[in-house]
Amino acid sequence: MSTDGTAQAEFVPPSWDTKMPLPSNPETGEDANDYYTIDCEVHVMPEDYRRYIKYFEGTKTFEYAHKMCNQWQWIDHRNNRQSAMHPGMDWHIDKIIADMDRSGVDQIALMRESFIDTAGDSAPFSTNQHVIDAIEKYPDRVIGVSNVGPFSKRKTKDFLWEMEYLHDNYNFKFTKFYQPEDCPINDRRLWPAYEMCQDKGIVAFFHTGITIRLGPTRYTLPILLDEVASDFPDLKIVAYHGGYPYWEDLIMLMWKHPNVYVSYSILLPWLMRAPHRFAHMVGTTLQIVGPGRFVWGSDWPASDPYQSVEAVLKLQIDEELQEKWGYPAITKQDKADFLGGTLARLAGIDPVKNHLKFPGMNGSPEGKTPEGDITRAIMAKQGG
């Protein structure tokens, strides 16, 4: 049971000891320490904050979505057994960092979770201040993602001010557009935000594909990015969730627009257990678009970062698929780009200098990172 006595705990699988070796590929001898890894989608949602909105009827849709994520992500359907350690229901920054230590993830792009529509547009599941607090506690590991929507319900000057404030004062490098609760991706009310992101070099993350709760999927179809990428050719666009199930549409958009990238956040544990499906999605992208366009992410807590790292370490396109479908083989450079190199390049992060070494068995890495030094210097100027 959760702390307020709700029935949410029925969705939580048994917990396992987090003291385990780092994700690895025994066939190649690789493990998580061989690559710089940054998670492009991590949500902080402390339970002691979420409890204030649990009386809203709409929050039951979130409970259902969590149940379905458990069915999708934490169960090996070949034997109907739990396949990963579930993080429980209290999604605070200390638990996040512990899970990233377990998974060998160097840095995270951390964001608040909105889901404001589940609470009658009254309050989000967490705030940008939760992200600031996490940055102040873990400046070497946490890089901020602003979320200043819903844009259709705010004045332009207000969301632009907030975005600029967060990026200038706390070294935020990314922003998220979560349109299921807002307006379509190609709604012109978003153009001022896109312009600011393009001008300031902010990497823009988009929810694409099916939505999980109240919001309409028609607002997040990958094809809607076509207008955005055309009008803002220097905007760095990352489409979350592979646009699934419209992943082929997204591939063709990436072919058309060199500023569009794909993340398979939330999909990777499932794809690891369906290796041919994974190989077809990656192989088709490599054929049509080329290398260096994949961005790694977990969508924590909806998906397990340990399995998500493991999925890329074990990614391969076997010779039979190469022969039948014309796919290229997966290289170590492909994995390096996928796990962190591509997003680091987009955000101006040095993947070599920010690469930590994890002792494994859930141990924390030692030492500071250049990004942490930058963040500390920026906050010091503001009296942070």
Residue range 133-162: average pLDDT? 97
Residue range 272-294: average pLDDT? 97
Residue 111 CA neighbour count, 13 Å, CB half: 30
Residue range 131-151: average pLDDT? 97
Q: Report the alpha-carbon angle 102-333-243, nearest 5.
A: 70
Proportion of the chain in helix, strand, coil states, percent, rounded to 5: 45, 10, 40
Confidence band for 383, pLDDT divided at 50, 70 and 90 = low
Confidence band for 17, pLDDT divided at 50, 70 and 90 = low
Q: Are 190 and 163 in contact (CB under 8 A)?
A: no
The pLDDT score that the predictor gives to residue 9 is 42
pLDDT at 4 over 70: no
The pLDDT score that the predictor gives to residue 8 is 42
7-21, 46-60, 367-381: least confident range: 7-21
More confident residue, 67 or 22: 22
- In the CATH scheme, what is the code of domain 7-381? 3.20.20.140
Residue range 125-143: average pLDDT? 96
Tokens of 204: 């823009």
pLDDT at 126 over 70: yes
pLDDT at 76 over 90: no
The pLDDT score that the predictor gives to residue 16 is 44
The pLDDT score that the predictor gives to residue 11 is 37
Q: Report the alpha-carbon angle 297-347-187, nearest 5.
A: 75
pLDDT at 74 over 80: no
pTM summary value: 0.93
Q: In the chain, what are the domain boundaries?
A: 7-381
**Mean pLDDT over all residues of the chain?**
91
- For residues 327 and 345, give the distance between their C-alpha atoms in angstroms, rounded to a whole number: 25
Handedness of CA 362, 365, 371, 372 (dihedral sign): positive
